Amino acid sequence: MELQGTVKKLFDAQTFASGFQKREMVILTQEQYPQPINIEFLSDKISLLDNLKEGETVKVGINIRGREWVSPQGETKYFNSITGWKIEKVMDNGSEPTQASPSQSASPVSNENPFAGDDDDDLPF
């Protein structure tokens, strides 16, 4: 999956006692109701954030992960996390994300009936 948005916040890398490392970023999606989405980068992927600045527009390749946890009282809870694995900077021209547009070399569409002058009726019925 991919998310596109503007980098809202970059956090410092965290190293845990086990040697595990993670670094988080928040992007603000570009839609009618923008959403701040927290994305974590793990281990060797934390270096992907090194050349980013807040305010840049990016497209992030993500995986959504879920896990189950049972409390000491026996209550089961479910947690989700969004893990990034790829980042592409997007050229920001100040508008909505661009969509594929028709080729400029395409011929204009005509409203004329292409069969209007065709008197040869070869239909069997």
Please answer whether residues 29 and 38 qualify as being in contact, where contact means their C-beta atoms are separated by less than 8 angstroms: no
Amino acid type, 119: D
In the structure encoding, which two tokens stand for residue 40, read together? 């974590």
Q: Which two tokens stand for residue 33?
A: 């109701």
Q: Give the pLDDT of residue 6.
A: 97
Please classify residue 104 by burial: count the beta carbons closer than 10 Å to its beta carbon, then call 0-12 exposed, 13-18 middle and 19+ buried: exposed
Classify domain 1-87 by CATH architecture: Beta Barrel (2.40)
In degrees, rounded to 5, the angle at the alpha carbon of residue 52 between the alpha carbons of residues 47 and 54 is: 135
Per-position pLDDT tens, the chain of length 125? 999 999 999 999 999 999 999 999 999 999 999 999 999 999 999 999 999 999 999 999 999 999 999 999 999 999 999 999 999 999 855 544 433 434 444 445 555 655 555 555 665 65
What tokens does 17 get? Answer: 């006692």
CA 64, chain centre distance (Å): 12
Beta-bridge partners for 84: 62
Q: What is the pLDDT of residue 45?
A: 95
Q: What is the pTM of this model?
A: 0.68
